[in-house]
Chain A
Amino acid sequence: DIVMTQTPLSSPVTLGQPASISCRSSQSLEHSNGNTYLSWLQKRPGQPPRLLIYKISNRLSGVPDRFSGSGAGTDFTLKISRVEAEDVGVYYCVQATQFPYTFGQGTKLEIK
């Protein structure tokens, strides 16, 4: 199985400041078809997960452009350019390059 490791596990951020979450996979997530199936999900308490970004850097329709994803191979990053109060929650990276799909442990974003 591919192991996904996120850092940090907790990220206190001041409103309006940037935030960055790192995700590392135990092996390359590049599929033989050339795609890299790395997504980022946001999880708020009491709500289902919300897909923010797929295929490393593609924002889903309706996701604010302050969210961006980058990376390649085994190292990926989610950045929030200016954190807003509604961004509080837990962020997960997840790989879908091969079954079984695996999630990172989650990074809790909170406001200082």
Chain B
Amino acid sequence: QVQLQESGPGLVKPSETLSLTCTVSGGSLSSSGYYWGWVRQPPGKGLEWLGSFSSGGRTYYSPSLETRITIPVDTSKNQFSLKLTSVTAADTAVYYCARHYCTGGNCYGLGGSWGQGTLVTVSS
């Protein structure tokens, strides 16, 4: 059973860079055919997809964030990260890392496994 765990600062100052790490256990980022990604939920609001990448190296970002977001991957540590630059209060949210649900050689989108989530507050 793959497990994911987010880690990183819970408080970030406006205009700075939000950096979170997702550590994967019980499974490998190098396993072919999987997608992994980030989702967030601002307080009192709905879920928002931020970006995903495939084990084959393709990465996709939300158009609303693509000038500010990157998702670096470190397969040697079995970790991937979220970096979001120039943050504002609107980036305050619970951030989740997740593995897409894949079965029978196909992937069907978000939700196969999730981290517990980590709250990041943007405030001076």
Q: Which residues of A contact B (CB under 8 A)?
A: 1, 35, 37, 39, 41, 43, 48-51, 54-55, 58, 60, 90, 92, 94-96, 99-106
Contacts and interface: CB of A to CB of B under 8 A. Distances in A.
B91 to A, nearest CB: 17
Interface of B: 39, 41, 46-49, 52, 60-63, 96, 98, 100-101, 106-112, 114-117
Contact of A39 (B63, B96, B110, B115): B110
A39 B109 contact: yes
B108 A41 contact: no
A59 to B, nearest CB: 12
Contact of B49 (A51, A90, A100, A104): A100
B47 A106 contact: yes
Given A48-B96, A92-B47, A96-B108, A54 B101 contact: yes
A100 B37 CA distance: 12
B57 to A, nearest CB: 15
B60 A100 contact: yes
Contacts of B96: 48-49
Query: Sorted from nearest, which 5 A-B pairs have the closest CB atoms?
Result: A96-B109, A51-B111, A48-B114, A101-B49, A54-B108
B20 to A, nearest CB: 14
